[in-house]
Amino acid sequence: MKISFEKALLKENILDYQEKINAVHESLVNRTCKGNDYLGWYEWPYNYDKEEFARIREVGKEIRENADVLLVCGIGGSYLGARSAIEMMKGLYPGDKPEIIYTGNGLSSTYLCQVLEHIKGKSVYLNVISKSGTTTETAVAFRVFQKYIVDTFGEEEAARRIIATTDKARGALKHLADVKGYREFVVPDDIGGRYSVFSAVGLIPIAAAGLDIDEIMRGCQKAYEDLKSPDLNTNIAYQYAVARRILENQGKCIEVLATYEPSMTMIAEWWKQLFGESEGKEGKGIYPASVTFSTDLHSMGQFIQEGSKYLYETVLTVEKPMLDMTFPADEENLDNMNYLAGKNVDWINKMACEGTVAAHVETGNVPNILVSLEDNTPFSYGYMIYFFFRACAATVLLLDVNPFNQPGVEVYKKNMFKLLGKPQ
Ligand code: PA5
């Protein structure tokens, strides 16, 4: 993984923040920072529960062997990690089994009804994921699909097909899983939803998708090693953390994560949750937005190029695409496209990226931070996610904000519960 600030138009020197970064780093290592109850993710690359990991591998294999469809039922931190990982590493049309369908991440009745119809006659497994065990969106979908599975396969078989990932001791889902005898996996106490993808929360669906979870852990271990020292000459996560604060000082209050692969769109959604929920508190923070290029160059490109100058971009590219093809020649050339014949389509994509960065930076005066991943393998995925964890925690601590809570999320819930007439 590489990061470049050459086109970031920074008006301060990143290295001038070394003392501040040292303090942030120490507070993470010594567990004295704000929100220090939720630092389980920090040492997780090595400290993860090996026994549970082996169970995850097993259950993933079982789902893969037996399911046509895996329903993954969860929202926010209990949803975005798995989906973004699977899409990034497998693409949008992998064409294998099980088909993975995400539910419980909204309250659309149309969506629920269509999924119910779609899974009829298929071998269905269900992984319900909720740390609190009480989230309304997840609970509504879970009851519907649990009933379907029990009605279709019977109580005993349902207990094999339904897998619960939840708190080890508390919550309605934990109680229900105990009573029904569902297999249970744990959301660690000291890891919040948006930092949980390397636990059972993300790894069960990822393993069921046939991806190598050992390689993912190897990737995050490598990132852990590479990011051990707080030295801003070498620590790319801290460089990114500081660059964000410098750009904020320059009046930038929106960060747009730009990707060039449709299979990375959900990575951007995951990233938005990570940075949005971690940083957006106490009237502070940079608003995280995203675009998928080149698609969005034909919609949001205009604004980025010439609109108000509050934003900067972080361009996340993948050097080696999962698949590539040579653009064909055509004897008639009626579409005048023969000038590209013989070129790889990924090369065309890369040229679009190069041209766009130049347009946005040089003509539009929009700072661009350039992040590039070697490929979309499980190793690179694990590396990138741990990089973002560390960068996010550090950049938020530089603001003197707790990166690990989300008090604002509760406000809508209270209003909704009142309107729904939920018993106290
Ligand atoms: O980051 C968070 O804490 C939230 O996005 C939660 O993950 C989300 O609300 C789902 O919560 P739960 O896992 O308790 O169902």
Residue 77: CB within 6 Å of ligand 1? yes
Q: Give the Å distance between the CA of 138 and the centre of ligand 1.
A: 10
Distance CA 115, CA 284 (A): 39
Q: Give the Å distance between the CA of 42 and the centre of ligand 1.
A: 19
* Cα four-point dihedral sign 138, 103, 181, 183: negative
Catalogue the active-site residues: 277, 298, 413
Give the H/E segment covering residue 320: none
Ligand 1 mutation target, pool 37, 41, 75, most atoms within 8 A of CB: 75
**Bond into 294 cis (ω within 30):** yes
Give the closest residue (by CA) to ligand 1 atom 7.
77
Homologous superfamily (CATH) for 44-211: Glucose-6-phosphate isomerase like protein; domain 1 (3.40.50.10490)
Strand-pairing partners, residue 314, are 257, 369
Residue 367: CB within 6 Å of ligand 1? no
Residue 277: CB within 6 Å of ligand 1? yes
Give the H/E segment covering residue 332: none
Residue 78: CB within 6 Å of ligand 1? yes
Ligand 1 mutation target, pool 73, 80, 135, 201, most atoms within 8 A of CB: 135
DSSP string, 70-83: EEEE--GGGTHHHH
Could you tell me where in the chain the CATH 3.40.50.10490 domains are found?
Answer: 2-32+217-407, 44-211
Distance CA 282, CA 353 (A): 36
What angle separates helix 378-398 from helix 80-90, to the nearest 10 degrees? 140
Please, what CATH class does the domain formed by 2-32+217-407 belong to? alpha beta
Distance CA 93, CA 84 (A): 14
Amino acid at 292: T
Q: Give the Å distance between the CA of 315 and the centre of ligand 1.
A: 27
Show the tokens assigned to 67: 């399911």
Counts of helices then strands in the chain (DSSP H, E): 16, 10
pLDDT of the chain, 424 residues: tens digit per residue: 999 999 999 999 999 999 999 999 999 999 999 999 999 999 999 999 999 999 999 999 999 999 999 999 999 999 999 999 999 999 999 999 999 999 999 999 999 999 999 999 999 999 999 998 889 999 999 999 999 999 999 999 999 999 999 999 999 999 999 999 999 999 999 999 999 999 999 999 999 999 999 999 999 999 999 999 999 999 999 999 999 999 999 999 999 999 999 999 999 999 999 999 999 999 999 999 999 999 999 999 999 999 999 999 999 999 999 999 999 999 999 999 999 999 999 999 999 999 999 999 999 999 999 999 999 999 999 999 999 999 999 999 999 999 999 888 888 888 888 899 988 7
